[in-house]
Amino acid sequence: MLQHKRSERLSELMQEELSDIIRRQVKDPRVGEFCTIMHVEVSEDLRHAKVSVSIMGDEAQQKKTLIGLKNATGFIRREIGQRIGIRHAPELVFVLDKSVDYSFEIDRLIRDFYKENDK
C-alpha cells in the first residue's frame, strides 16, 4: 500500500517536472510547443515510467515529435533525477495519447448528428 502511494506521488511530480523540462530545456526542434504531458504511470518498483503525451498536428508531426522525445530521453531522465532528488530515475517510455483526438471526433459526430436532425 505504501509503495502504491509513493508511485502515485512520483507520477504526479514527474508529470509537472517533465512538462517544464520539455517546454524549457529540450532544444530539439522536433519537440515543439504542441507537446503536452497527459499522464505519467510509474511502476510499483519505481524503475519504469510510461509517459503519455498528446501532440497536436498531423500523424507525420506526431511521429517526428515522438522520435525527438525518444532521442532526448537520456537528458530528460537525468534532469528528472536531479530535480526530484532520487538516486535512480525511472526508465522513460513515451507513448502517444490519442484521447484529445478521440474527444474531437466525438464532438464532431455529435455536431453532425444535431445538424442532420435540425433539417
**CATH code, domain carrying 65:** 3.30.300.20
Name the residue with higher pLDDT: 118 or 4.
Answer: 118
In the numeric block, which cell numbers belong to residue 39? Answer: 499522464
What's the rounded Cα separation, in Å, for the pair 48 and 41?
Answer: 8
What's the rounded Cα separation, in Å, for the pair 111 and 70?
Answer: 37
In the numeric block, which cell numbers belong to residue 70? Answer: 525518444
> Tell me, what's the pLDDT at 4?
67
What's the rounded Cα separation, in Å, for the pair 41 and 49?
Answer: 5
> What pTM, to 2 d.p., does this model score?
0.81
Digit-coded pLDDT (tens) for 58-113:
889 999 999 999 999 999 999 999 999 988 999 999 999 987 777 777 888 888 88
pLDDT band for position 52 (cuts 50, 70, 90): very high
Q: Please tell me the total count of domains within the chain.
A: 1
> Tell me, what's the pLDDT at 106?
85
Helices assigned H by DSSP within the chain: 2-24, 59-71, 73-84, 99-118
Domain housing 14? 2-118
> Tell me, what's the pLDDT at 3?
59
Digit-coded pLDDT (tens) for 13-36:
999 999 999 999 999 988 877 899
